[in-house]
A and B are shown apart, each in its own frame.
Chain A
């Protein structure tokens, strides 16, 4: 029966049907991340009951969520371009370390307060700018440039406190981790402000549209006179800014500046962005996808910890998640429109 049906279709109808089926599949898969998040919440609630679904654990999740979210937001724009940024561990650690030796601390007599923090973030912004600049002007793949900068920044981080990490003694910074408003911890508020900023950039500025366009097909923005190189450099600079903010937030949380603030942030961030549905091939996804993606990662880690899973197995599970997410999204990217 099905075979007869097929014979009755013309080639064009077959083609149209194929495209339709693909679009349908895509629509279904678009909601997959949200379903995964809900499923995780249900599973952990059933498994651990009130321990997981308690207010105190919710606050803990929000706390754990903050830094991965800020980092992943920066990465989202880079991946939407079709690029990748591996500098994260370095830049985040560098920003945190530099901030720690510029504010009131146990290592030296500096006390630049808020300016110290601004300088630290600026350092990260400059790194982002250079990653973008080298990538665009010298036509080096972004993963190579950013990987080099990861090492450079880690080096700078170590140098900034020359061996002995500085402990923050600024009273305001020391108090911040315990501050909360409406039950939400301060550092989560920082992350939420960054989220709003990114939503603004993505949805309400021309720049946000250009990111999608460059990621889809560079010739389209070029043909209307948009400077594609500038868009790319701006995206990497913006990512640098967010990594810098993440570094400072990490410092506030830890109370001590060290290169390790950025350690092991990169892969979970990549995973979160991709799981959220932002395609590695570019032009697709966005900030809200990353919100879901980071929540999935955070809830998963939190839930697994509660269930007493061996931390080494947790790392392995993260790897499998990245793999599955990449397989799903690359399939999504391969739309057949060449006839």
Chain B
């Protein structure tokens, strides 16, 4: 059977503020097929989907839909051409009914004498829901009263309806971004059933997921992206988990990059230990030991629970089960200030939102975590603050016009160094680095790696959530792998005996 090309993207690139999220990826989709899209965090899947749906334009590259050039200005334009997307974070208005959500923005089609004719809208809703075999959903129910699986189906119904508006015979393309992350097994099977019904009618579906088994089950063809580039495009007949893992992980960088010569074996002394730690609905049964002078990497996809473990350790969130020991003493933190008192500090991921105060000076930003250390008789000593700033600006080679410069005037890498300086100056012994190299350039990355090595050389311990797998393996003494809230593996990662990326990815997905 001759397959008809529905959508095609050629050599799409996208740069944000100097970093290149997409370096040229392709995607061809034929009518009636399910295309799986996989790759590590940051491989560029979500970026590409956003370009296709018109949320953001590509930097370069061409797309076609139904054989015509396609460059949507916004999601509506994409909808008109027959492309719809179910976003990872659901886009339903929870306090409105199902029907009102389905036709949201199209109420004018139902106006009669100044009133919205709800009866007619609900009748139409019924038809739309039946179209995706969800006739059992009552369109008058409020979305807030539905479970996640049902909401997901409502989203799909809404998207199918949007993309078909006007021309009933038009084939459409539905993009599903991580649709299964909130569903249980039975619900996933249901979703797959609906997806197959859609494709039987000639529509096409793009399925993005971290769960490889699901991608293998539903897809007809699988695209693999890696660091914003094509890393493979295989038919389901040829795809195996092993092949996909191998395609997903990329080159392994040189030892110099991560200063492996400076990697020292960790000490024996356990500085932090979790016993059966859990956070209801997020992760459980987590037993982690962190040694003195160790860099412990935690790998896992978004939603694996690795970030939440760190939130619990640094006192931002209270665990719902298990225990936490610091230097052999059982602790129970109620705030990050408590944790800092015991020497635990997190350098947060969202630097702009959580890590820095944009309009404070470099010196004041550095003094935020250790104001007490810098005070005399209860008053913060300006001199000590300035001395500290001068010392760290020099030690970390921070490029700034001076300690009085507002932090916002520094480059991303240098802002991150200021955040590091604050952590180091605070005299914390256990530092959690949450994606420390996100959004900084290559040069600054290397300096951050060198700095991290220096930190552990001083006898401090680090928990690292790396931006890439490569970074996590390259930097760590030991790597813990998490999947769906459970620890699925642990690897020693001494210099010269690093585990392979494939072995870790296979436990992550």
Which residues from chain A sit less than 8 Å from chain B, CB to CB?
6, 11-20, 23, 26, 200, 204-206, 209, 212-213, 216-217, 219-221, 223-226, 283-284, 336, 339
Bound-state CA distance A284–B95 (Å) is 6
**A216, B94: Cβ atoms under 8 Å?**
yes
Pairs across A and B, CB under 8 Å, 6 listed: A11-B283, A12-B484, A204-B114, A209-B107, A223-B76, A336-B281
User: Inside 8 A of A220's CB, which chain B residues have their CB?
Assistant: 91-93, 104
**B91, A339: Cβ atoms under 8 Å?**
no
**A225, B76: Cβ atoms under 8 Å?**
yes
Is B144 located at the chain interface by the 8 A CB criterion? yes
Known interface pairs A205-B116, A209-B107; A224-B95 also in contact (CB < 8 Å)? no
Known interface pairs A223-B91, A339-B303; A209-B76 also in contact (CB < 8 Å)? no
Distance in Å from the Cβ of B105 to the closest Cβ of chain A?
Answer: 3
User: Inside 8 A of A283's CB, which chain B residues have their CB?
Assistant: 93-95
Report the tally of A-B residue pairs with Cβ distances under 8 A: 94
Known interface pairs A213-B96, A283-B93; A18-B280 also in contact (CB < 8 Å)? yes
Q: Which of B92, B104, B114, B118 has the most CB of A within 10 A?
A: B104
Bound-state CA distance A20–B280 (Å) is 13
**B281, A15: Cβ atoms under 8 Å?**
yes
Query: Contact check: which of A14, A217, A224 meets B280 at CB < 8 Å?
Result: A14
Residues of B469-501 at the interface with A, using a CB-CB cut-off of 8 Å, are: 484-486
Residues of B104-124 at the interface with A, using a CB-CB cut-off of 8 Å, are: 104-108, 111, 114-116, 118
Query: Contact check: which of A12, A20, A212 meets B95 at CB < 8 Å?
Result: A212
Distance in Å from the Cβ of A269 to the closest Cβ of chain B?
Answer: 22
User: Inside 8 A of B107's CB, which chain A residues have their CB?
Assistant: 205-206, 209
Chain B, residues 78-112, CB within 8 Å of chain A (1/0): the string is: 00000000000001111110001000111110010
Known interface pairs A16-B147, A23-B145, A217-B91; A11-B116 also in contact (CB < 8 Å)? no
Bound-state CA distance A225–B74 (Å) is 9
Distance in Å from the Cβ of A2 to the closest Cβ of chain B?
Answer: 12
**B280, A212: Cβ atoms under 8 Å?**
no
**B104, A209: Cβ atoms under 8 Å?**
yes
User: Inside 8 A of A20's CB, which chain B residues have their CB?
Assistant: 147
User: Inside 8 A of A16's CB, which chain B residues have their CB?
Assistant: 147-148, 184, 281
**B75, A11: Cβ atoms under 8 Å?**
no
Measured CB to CB, the nearest residue on chain B to A12 is: B184
**B100, A209: Cβ atoms under 8 Å?**
yes
Bound-state CA distance A339–B111 (Å) is 39
Q: Told that A217-B93, A225-B105, A339-B182 touch, could you supply 19 new A-B pairs with CB distance under 8 A?
A: A11-B305, A11-B486, A17-B281, A18-B280, A18-B281, A23-B144, A204-B114, A205-B114, A205-B115, A212-B93, A212-B96, A213-B93, A216-B93, A220-B104, A223-B55, A223-B91, A224-B75, A225-B76, A339-B281
**A19, B284: Cβ atoms under 8 Å?**
no
Measured CB to CB, the nearest residue on chain A to B303 is: A339
Is B181 located at the chain interface by the 8 A CB criterion? yes
Distance in Å from the Cβ of A33 to the closest Cβ of chain B?
Answer: 16
Distance in Å from the Cβ of A229 to the closest Cβ of chain B?
Answer: 16
Give the total of B residues in contact with A, Cβ under 8 Å: 39
Q: Looking at chain A's contact residues, is the secondary structure mostly helix, strand, loop, or mixed? A: helix
Bound-state CA distance A283–B101 (Å) is 14
Which residues from chain B sit less than 8 Å from chain A, CB to CB?
55, 74-76, 91-96, 100, 104-108, 111, 114-116, 118, 144-145, 147-148, 181-182, 184, 280-284, 303, 305, 321, 484-486
**A223, B75: Cβ atoms under 8 Å?**
yes
User: Inside 8 A of B96's CB, which chain A residues have their CB?
Assistant: 209, 212-213
User: Inside 8 A of B281's CB, which chain A residues have their CB?
Assistant: 11-12, 14-18, 336, 339
**A11, B105: Cβ atoms under 8 Å?**
no
Distance in Å from the Cβ of B279 to the closest Cβ of chain A?
Answer: 9
Bound-state CA distance A13–B104 (Å) is 32
Query: Contact check: which of B75, B144, B181, B184 meets A13 at CB < 8 Å?
Result: B184
Query: Contact check: which of B105, B283, B321 meets A224 at CB < 8 Å?
Result: B105
User: Inside 8 A of B93's CB, which chain A residues have their CB?
Assistant: 209, 212-213, 216-217, 220, 283
Bound-state CA distance A14–B93 (Å) is 25
User: Inside 8 A of A205's CB, which chain B residues have their CB?
Assistant: 107, 114-116
Known interface pairs A13-B184, A212-B96, A339-B182; A223-B284 also in contact (CB < 8 Å)? no
User: Inside 8 A of B100's CB, which chain A residues have their CB?
Assistant: 209
**A219, B91: Cβ atoms under 8 Å?**
yes
User: Inside 8 A of A14's CB, which chain B residues have their CB?
Assistant: 280-281, 284
User: Inside 8 A of A213's CB, which chain B residues have their CB?
Assistant: 93, 96, 104
User: Inside 8 A of B280's CB, which chain A residues have their CB?
Assistant: 14-15, 18
Distance in Å from the Cβ of B56 to the closest Cβ of chain A?
Answer: 12
Q: Which of B93, B118, B145, B184 has the most CB of A within 10 A?
A: B93
User: Inside 8 A of A336's CB, which chain B residues have their CB?
Assistant: 281
Q: Which of B144, B181, B283 has the most CB of A within 10 A?
A: B144
**B95, A221: Cβ atoms under 8 Å?**
no
Measured CB to CB, the nearest residue on chain B to A226 is: B105
Top 8 closest A-B pairs, CB basis?
Answer: A224-B105, A15-B281, A206-B107, A11-B485, A14-B281, A204-B115, A223-B75, A18-B281
Bound-state CA distance A284–B92 (Å) is 13
